[in-house]
Amino acid sequence: MNAAQSVGPEALPALQEQVEQIIAEARRQGASACEVAVSLEQGLSTSVRQREVETVEFNRDQGFGITLYVGQRKGSASTSASGADAIRETVAAALAIAEHTSEDDCSGLADAALMAREQPDFDLYHAWSISPEQAVEKALLCEAAAFDADARIKNADGTTLNTHQGCRVYGNSHGFIGGYASTRHSLSCVMIAEGEGQMQRDYWYDVNRKGELLADPVAIGKRAAERAASRLGARPVPTCEVPVLFSAELAGGLFGSFLGAISGGNLYRKSSFLEGSMGQTLFPEWLTLDERPHLQHAMGSSAFDGDGLATYAKPFIKDGVLVSYILSTYSGRKMGLPSTANAGGVHNLFVSHGDQNQAALLKQMGRGLLVTELMGQGLNMVTGDYSRGAAGFWVENGEIQFPVQEVTIAGNMRDMFKQIVAVGNDLELRSNIRTGSVLIERMTVAGS
């Protein structure tokens, strides 16, 4: 690829042709089956700090991932070069690896009959014709709004505007080939407040397929400043067992941990606390988690998964009961189950919710902790034990009283899932997991 070539939909035919050439080369060198994933991406990133430009970066990358099979033996290799010699050498390298690996009864391409036959356009590509100068201007405007919003905002930790566009193509020796172009644009602002003998940092951001639909830079800056200033005077609270409300932007992480626990890789390795849980009631009966992979504009939409299988809408949790694992072709074979067309992950997870906003959930909680920041990776996937550093706000009589820091929240995820009291209507739309704030009936808050 030369620098003048597009990375929009018009680049797809050339990428698809390269995939076909690689598959043909793999056959020529003796592979019994082959699959190829190609990506071509470019982006602009600008960041400012303390009213001055820090970085303006343009990047352009491409990559070819080639997986070959010789019977039940598998070999993989990758390259960023697209020339005939590079492709021939990469195929040879993958073939050499395959010849030295053990046979695996579960390896190989997915069933040809399951390949995606239709590839609708989900309107994921919207190039943003913004110049580096315009990007810098928006970032500076965002940061200036943050400084102007509160006199206690004394420092900045970076305001960044990113615009990204790319193409992805997957093909295999069954004759399947699919591809799509997508864009992702974002603006984030991190500010530092000083006061009451403390320095506190917080942020805000927005993400969209369309750059023109990003939240107003002034609004993002103000929100970042308000969040940072609101944390001044934070202190620990005595150790207690109380309800905990996870803000919507953090609640997705709870469901992300759940998805990891029902994913085939953890299940067949027997390293998940939800192994053998199919058919069990894991959540309250009013709660449903379902995947909707065919939404227009959404961050996770795709017509096919990483194996080329047609994606489809389905629940993982229905009326509180686990009704489906998350399986690729390989993990499904390891478990003796069909693939759920989730090689590469879940596409647009929706969490059922009520009609209460976060303020109403605080009223319902009465006394407890609103969590707005989590630190560390404190989940034991084997046991489900959960323990993470947290910060947020202490709540009494349904009203925020003061900011909290230096506490740890702990519980077991099985208990946490069953003790979800409510999910708010303040949906997080910037993520692949759409959920509102989540109120959990009881957790241990360990503080002073």
Average pLDDT along the chain:
96
Domain boundaries, the chain: 9-228, 234-448
The angle that helices 84-100 and 12-28 make with each other, rounded to 10 degrees, is 50
Q: What is the largest CA-CA distance in the chain?
A: 73
Q: What is the mean pLDDT of residues 369-383?
A: 95
Best CA proximity match to 91, nearest among 36, 48, 171: 36
Residue labelled with tokens 């993982």: 316
How is the beta sheet containing 33-49 ordered, strand by strand? 73-79, 52-70, 33-49, 153-172, 177-195, 198-208
The model's pLDDT over 248-293, given as tens digits with 9 standing for 90+, comes to 999 999 999 999 999 999 999 999 999 999 999 999 999 999 999 9
- Sequence-ordered list of residues with C-beta below 8 angstroms from that of 261, at least 6 positions apart, any chain: 272, 273, 274, 381, 384, 413
pLDDT of 4 reads: 39
Task: Read off the pLDDT of residues 164-190 as tens digits, 9 standing for 90 and up.
Answer: 999 999 999 999 999 999 999 999 999
Tokens 């009494």, residue located: 396
Does domain 9-228 match CATH 3.30.2290.10? yes
On whether the CB atoms of residues 183 and 168 are closer than 8 A, the answer is no
Contact 308, 178 (CB under 8 A): yes
Cα(267)–Cα(276) distance, integer angstroms: 8
**Is the pTM of the predicted complex or chain greater than 0.85?**
yes
